[in-house]
Amino acid sequence: MISKAFLAMAAIALAAAPLAAQAKSAPASVPVSAHDLGSFPFVKAPAGFVARNGKKLGFEEKYIFAGGQPLIVSGPYYHADIFANGGEWNETLLLSQLDRQITGLGGVRVFDGAIPDSGRKLIEENAPRFVQDLYDPWPYRFRQYLIRQEDKLVWIELGYRYNAEMIDLTVVQEDPKK
């Protein structure tokens, strides 16, 4: 007899398979979005939440783990911590609202999980500056998205499950011709 836990794990693996296959060839596999993104950083804290410690840099590198393999992206960079704005903290609600906001702009989730071993090795070897914004990246889970437009690639990362009653938001705008 097959256990319910095994069936649940198999269902999760099957659901994730198209995502992983699509991500391996990111960004070419992500459809071009015609949505008006507005101004950089394109994503805002939803109602009931507030972005704090916002930082914009004219240029920074960031690691994306599409398909589980590190991809180094670079360009204008934004990082902020998103907290509840006076109300009760609800990570599930915030993730859901940010996911709807990002996918509503044409974003496609290209990664969801802990930093893969290949990414961990690259971070340990290079000590990239963006890691300072995360304080300690190892306990986090990350959701990474791509919004592909004719004139830009917008990489968005949500760092969550850190038990700090906040979510890290990072955005990098990359020129697709570089």
Cβ-contact 160, 167 below 8 angstroms = yes
Q: Is the pLDDT of residue 170 over 90?
A: yes
How many Cα atoms are found within 13 Å in the side-chain-facing hemisphere of 67? 12
Confidence at 176, pLDDT banded by 50, 70, 90: confident
Reference 161, options 128, 138, 144, 130; nearest CA is 138
Number of domains forming the structure of the chain: 1
Rounded distance, CA 30 to CA 155, Å? 12
Q: pLDDT, tens digit, for every residue of 30-46?
A: 999 999 999 999 999 99
Rounded distance, CA 54 to CA 129, Å? 15
User: Which residue blocks in the chain are alpha helix, DSSP H?
Assistant: 4-24, 91-104, 117-126, 131-134
Give pairs for 129-137: CB < 8 Å, separation 24+. Answer: 129/60, 129/61, 130/60, 130/61, 130/62, 130/63, 130/77, 130/79, 130/170, 133/55, 133/79, 133/168, 133/170, 134/159, 134/168
- Going 23 to 173 to 33 to 93, the CA torsion angle's sign is positive
Rounded to whole angstroms, what are the CA distances from 30 to 12, 81, 93, 96? 22, 27, 26, 21
Cis peptide before 41 (omega within 30 of 0): yes
- Mean pLDDT on 1-25: 42
Q: pLDDT, tens digit, for every residue of 70-127?
A: 888 999 999 999 999 998 999 999 999 999 999 999 999 999 988 877 777 777 776 6
Domain encompassing residue 37: 4-174
Q: Is the pLDDT of residue 138 over 70?
A: no
